[in-house]
Amino acid sequence: MTKEEIAEKAVETLENLYPDARCSLVYRKPYELLIATRLAAQCTDARVNLVTEKLFDKYKTLEDFANADYGELCDDIRPCGFFRKKANDIIETSKILLSEYGGGLPDTMEELTKLPGVGRKTANLIMGDVFGKPAVVTDTHFIRIMGRLGLTDSKSPERVERDLRPLLPPEKSSDFCHRVVIFGRDICSARKPLCSICPMTELCREYSEK
Q: Which DSSP category does 21 fall into?
A: -
- Choosing from 45, 76, 139, 163, the catalytic residue is 139
Beta carbons of 157 and 122 less than 8 angstroms apart: no
Note if 121 is an active site residue.
yes
Q: What is the DSSP string of 75-122?
A: HHHGGGS-HHHHHHHHHHHHHHHHHHHTTS---SHHHHTTSTT--HHH
Note if 129 is an active site residue.
no
Please give the torsion angle defined by the CA atoms of residues 174, 128, 113 and 148, in that order, rounded to the nearest 10 degrees: -10
- Choosing from 121, 129, 163, 175, the catalytic residue is 121
Q: Find the DSSP H helices in 18-82.
A: 30-39, 45-58, 62-66, 70-77
List residues with catalytic annotation: 121, 139
